[in-house]
């Protein structure tokens, strides 16, 4: 469960705990004030989670751009040698990566025929 999902579940639980039926109409203003406070609190939590997600995506996009620049600067023969070295060092990961790539390509090619 991601941190965002955990925060959402926590917020839902807090909301359920805060929803108590009113027995007296004099308490309506107090209840509405508390409800407004909870709504603002949850709004802030959602804003914080969205900001974290944006920062995370931005970091990953920057890393991907750096890797792309690194790959575009390399010679193809050098990349093949790097791949061979990686396969020698981590054969299990290489098999899993190959299987995942094959599955994705198969799905793409299969969906293209329909």
pLDDT at 27: 54
Separation in Å, CA 22 to CA 28, 51, 103? 7, 36, 56
CA atoms within 13 A on the CB side of 102: 6
pLDDT at 36: 85
Residues in the chain: 114
pTM, rounded to two decimals: 0.41
pLDDT at 21: 56
Domain chopping of the chain, boundaries: 1-73, 75-114
- Give the residue among 98, 97, 94 at the shortest CA–CA distance from 84: 94
Tens of each residue's pLDDT in the chain, 114 residues: 678 788 888 877 777 776 655 555 555 567 777 888 888 899 899 999 999 999 999 999 999 999 888 888 888 898 899 889 999 999 999 999 999 999 999 999 988 766
Show the tokens assigned to 32: 């509405």
């Amino acid at each position: 469960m991601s941190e965002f999902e955990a925060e959402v579940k926590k917020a839902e639980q807090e909301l359920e705990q805060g929803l108590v039926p009113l027995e007296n109409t004099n308490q309506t203003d107090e209840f509405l004030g508390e409800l407004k406070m909870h709504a603002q609190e949850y709004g802030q939590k959602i804003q914080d989670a969205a900001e974290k997600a944006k920062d995370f995506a931005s970091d990953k996009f920057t890393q991907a751009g750096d890797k792309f620049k690194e790959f575009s600067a390399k010679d193809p023969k050098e990349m093949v040698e790097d791949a061979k070295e990686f396969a020698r060092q981590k054969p299990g990961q290489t098999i899993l990566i190959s299987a995942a790539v094959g599955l994705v390509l198969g799905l793409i090619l299969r969906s293209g025929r329909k």
